[in-house]
């Protein structure tokens, strides 16, 4: 159950020691839905995340003619294939789901007619011009007046060819084209201009394209997706969300506790699993098995070590690190993260503002954040409708108290059961949740 806000986060009375089951990966769920939609036949997906973002993707695919049936709580069956795609009855609403609008914009190239994608007010400020330009380079007609949604794709087929896009804005533009290109008329070469941000997410896409029968060659500055006529339906298991796992992992490090997350091990698909290495630099101990990771903090009264870290490739965990940086022994510097300015909100600016309200000395640069710990001052954290801000600062509140969250409901975007898991954390030490 999601509590109504604002809520106060009370300090844990003792270090938590528990197993924390994180729900399925949003990134993998939405990629699997698209691949299964383009694959002929029935695909069974297990471990599926049920959240606002994945619901928007599912509803959109159903509006485009794809059959989706719930088989069990986290298992669905997708009846896919390009022949099933049809023009929707009207505009498709995708809320503020970035993966949905980007992946669907590319998939819509195969729909025999116009597809309009429209989001909420926040989505209307999220850039998508680079992907639109990429689709146009491949011969797809796209109408978009502002460079942000809404947009209309006039589909039918996706010709092959060469497309060049800037790499420093969003890896999802590249993933969108890679997911669709396996069903294109001819090979698609995607050239990267500059350094590709969040490359591990593109690696997720590459591996999943191969899992569904596609053929993709990856080089340092380009990707070639070979036309294979489509994808193959299959059974596919979705691993827990590594970005969401950063919260229990950080909580263990910040409190001196011990928290295990089952289903995530060293062979995880998701690049954000590397956040465990950042926590290790800060003094936590990381214990891994094939299908589980446990983080042990150094001790309740032991300060975290300060770090200077490039988080370009794991930018969805920047907020988790920033939120526990006030507990470090010195300044924490997070570098090469300009791309988080075009997420659900300008996350760099939001972090600087909210940490400042909590009494921290913060320098915000164009692509970096430096946090110099100061005594914490109680404050109400504004979430900017951003799920990761709510969950990250909840970790700080659990470790120290003095933190209130103004919009706890925003976690529904990717982790609707987050507050239930926080309650379970309180219960594990015999403490009642304050809401």
Instruction: List, by residue number, the catalytic residues.
Output: 316
Contacts (Cβ under 8 Å, ≥6 apart) of 201 = 27, 171, 172, 175, 271
CA distance 248 to 16: 10
Omega before 150 cis (within 30°)? yes
Q: Do the beta carbons of residue 187 and residue 138 sit within 8 Å?
A: no
Q: Please give the DSSP secondary-structure letter assigned to residue 382.
A: P
Structure tokens belonging to residue 132: 């639109």
CA distance 432 to 397: 15
For residue 145, count other CB atoms closer than 10 A to its CB.
8
CA distance 33 to 238: 11
Q: Backbone phi, then psi, for 9, in 5-degree steps?
A: -100, 115
For residue 434, count other CB atoms closer than 10 A to its CB.
12
The enclosing H or E element of 351 equals: helix 347-357
Contacts (Cβ under 8 Å, ≥6 apart) of 197 = 167, 168, 169, 170, 171, 312, 313, 315, 339
CA distance 75 to 45: 6
Sign of the C-alpha dihedral computed for residues 217, 221, 227 and 231 taken in this order: positive
For residue 210, count other CB atoms closer than 10 A to its CB.
12
Contacts (Cβ under 8 Å, ≥6 apart) of 218 = 202, 203, 206
CA distance 338 to 342: 8
Give the DSSP per-residue string, 6-26.
PEEEPPPSS--EEE--PPBPH
CA distance 272 to 320: 11
């Amino acid at each position: 159950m999601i509590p109504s806000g604002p809520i106060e986060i009370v300090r844990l009375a003792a270090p938590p020691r528990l197993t924390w089951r994180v729900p399925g990966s949003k990134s993998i769920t939405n990629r699997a839905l698209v691949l299964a939609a383009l694959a002929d036949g029935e695909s069974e997906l297990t471990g599926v995340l049920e959240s606002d973002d994945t619901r928007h993707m599912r509803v959109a695919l159903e509006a485009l003619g794809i059959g989706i049936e719930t088989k069990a709580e986290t298992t669905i069956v997708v009846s896919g294939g390009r022949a099933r795609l049809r023009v929707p009855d009207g505009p498709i609403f995708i809320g503020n789901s970035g993966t949905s609008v980007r992946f669907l914009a590319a998939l819509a190239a195969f729909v025999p007619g116009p597809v309009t994608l429209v989001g909420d007010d926040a989505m209307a400020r999220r850039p998508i011009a680079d992907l639109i330009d990429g689709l146009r380079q491949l011969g797809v007609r796209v109408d978009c007046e502002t460079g942000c949604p809404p947009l209309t794709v006039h589909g039918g087929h996706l010709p092959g060819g060469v497309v060049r896009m800037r790499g420093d804005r969003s890896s999802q533009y590249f993933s969108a084209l890679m997911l669709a290109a396996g069903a294109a008329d001819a090979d698609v070469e995607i050239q990267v201009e500059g350094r590709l941000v969040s490359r591990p997410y593109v690696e997720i896409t590459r591996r999943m394209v191969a899992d569904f029968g596609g053929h993709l060659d990856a080089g340092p500055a380009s990707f070639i997706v070979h036309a294979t006529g489509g994808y193959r339906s299959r059974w596919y298991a979705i691993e827990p969300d590594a970005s969401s796992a950063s919260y229990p992992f950080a909580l263990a490090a910040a409190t001196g506790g011990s928290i295990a997350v089952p289903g995530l091990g060293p062979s995880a698909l998701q690049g954000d699993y590397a956040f465990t290495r950042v926590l290790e630099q800060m003094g936590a101990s990381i214990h891994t098995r094939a299908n589980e990771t446990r983080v042990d903090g150094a001790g309740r009264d032991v300060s975290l070590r300060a770090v200077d870290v490039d988080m370009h490739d794991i930018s969805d965990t920047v907020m988790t690190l920033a939120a526990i940086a006030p507990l470090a022994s010195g300044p924490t510097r997070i570098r090469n993260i300009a791309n988080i300015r075009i997420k659900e909100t300008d996350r760099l600016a939001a972090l600087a503002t909210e940490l400042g309200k909590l009494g921290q000395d913060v320098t915000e640069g164009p692509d970096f954040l430096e946090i110099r710990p100061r005594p914490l001052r109680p404050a109400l954290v504004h979430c900017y409708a951003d799920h990761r801000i709510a969950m990250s600062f909840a970790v700080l509140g659990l470790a120290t108290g003095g933190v209130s969250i103004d919009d706890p409901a925003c976690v529904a975007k990717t982790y609707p059961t987050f507050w239930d898991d926080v309650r379970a954390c309180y219960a594990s030490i015999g403490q009642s949740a304050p809401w």
